[in-house]
Amino acid sequence: MRGPLFYSKILLFGEYGIIKDSKGLSIPYNFYNGALKTEKNPSEEAKKSNDNLRRFIAYLETIDENLVAFDIPAMKAHVEAGMYFDSSIPQGYGVGSSGALVAAIYDKYAFQKITVLENLTREKLLKLKAIFSAMESFFHGKSSGLDPLNSYLSIPILINSKDNIEATGIPAQQIEGKGAVFLLDSGSVGETAPMVSIFMESMKQEGFRNMLKNQFIKHTDACVEDFLKGDIKSLFHNTKKLSKVVLNHFKPMIPQQFHKLWKMGIETNDYYLKLCGSGGGGYILGFTQDIEKAKLALSGYKLEVVYNF
C-alpha cells in the first residue's frame, strides 16, 4: 500500500522575514518526496515513523473541529496496522520534511478538504494555511503552515504578507543557463525551534527590529520581485545585499564553519549564500551567475542545483 507522493519545498526568499510580514517565495522541489505507506515487515526507521504518527494523531484530536476535522478512527486503525511515512526528504535540512507529512495526512484523512482541483481563492489558501499551521505546530512549536501548503498544492506560492498569499508562476528555467540556485549541504542537522527562539529574543532589541525592517525585509522584497520579473541583474545585486545582512545579523543561524565561505562569496562575487529555512544546519541556499565558478570555489562541498537561470 502506498499513498500519493508529496514533495519537499524550498523557501527561496522570506525566511524569518515572513514572520514580520516580508514577502516570500516558496517553490516545490521534486527531488525529494514522501508518501504514507504500510508494509508487512517494517524497518526500524518505519517503526520510528509509526510511533511518531501515533503521537501526531493524539495531537490532531486536540485541534478545533471548526477549523478541521479528521477521520481519527480510520487513522488509528491504519497506524495500528503499521502505517508510516516513507520519505526521502532529509529531516532538519530546511526543505520541508514535516510539511510533506502534514500534507499527506490532510489529503488522506481530513473531512471536507479543500482540493487542489478547485478554484483556489485567497480565502481557501488562507484557510488551508491556517489548518496546516495548526497541524504542523506539533513538530515546530509554531509554524506558518507554508511548507505543508507548498507540498500539498505542489505549485509556487507567493507570500505578499501574512494575510495575503497567492499561487504564482515563476519564470521558466533556462536549462543551458550558467546562473543557478543551488543547495549546499552543511553536513549537520538544524533544529527549527531553537533558531526561531534566538530570532524572537533578538526581536526584543530595537536595533535588530530596525535592521529587519529597513534592510532585511527591504532586500527580501526586492529579491522576490526581481525573481518573479526575471530581472537577473537586479536579483544578484539584491541577493548580495541580503547575504551581507544575514552574515552581519544572523550569525547564530549560520553554522560556524561557513562564516568564512559566506564572506568569501560576497567578496569574490562567485556566489552568494543565504539561509534555507531557519538555518542552524541543514542546507544553505546559494545563488550564482556562473555555476562552474561556484563549484570550483566550493570544491569539497556537495552542491545540488535546484534552478537554472
Tell me: the pLDDT tens digits for 176-221? 889 999 999 998 898 888 898 899 999 999 999 999 999 999 999 9
pLDDT of residue 1: 61
| Contact predicate 278/256, CB 8 Å | no
Write the pLDDT tens digit of every residue in 277-297: 889 999 999 999 999 999 999
Flag whether pLDDT at 114 surpasses 90.
yes
| Phi, psi of 184, rounded to the nearest 5 degrees | -115, 125
Alpha-carbon distance of 279 to 128, in angstroms, equals 25
| Contact predicate 268/156, CB 8 Å | no
Write the pLDDT tens digit of every residue in 29-51: 999 999 999 988 889 999 999 99
CATH number listed for the domain at residues 180-308: 3.30.70.890
Domain ranges for the chain: 6-167, 180-308
For residue 269, what are the β-bridge partners?
A: none
Class of domain 6-167: alpha beta
Flag whether pLDDT at 110 surpasses 90.
yes
pLDDT of residue 191: 85
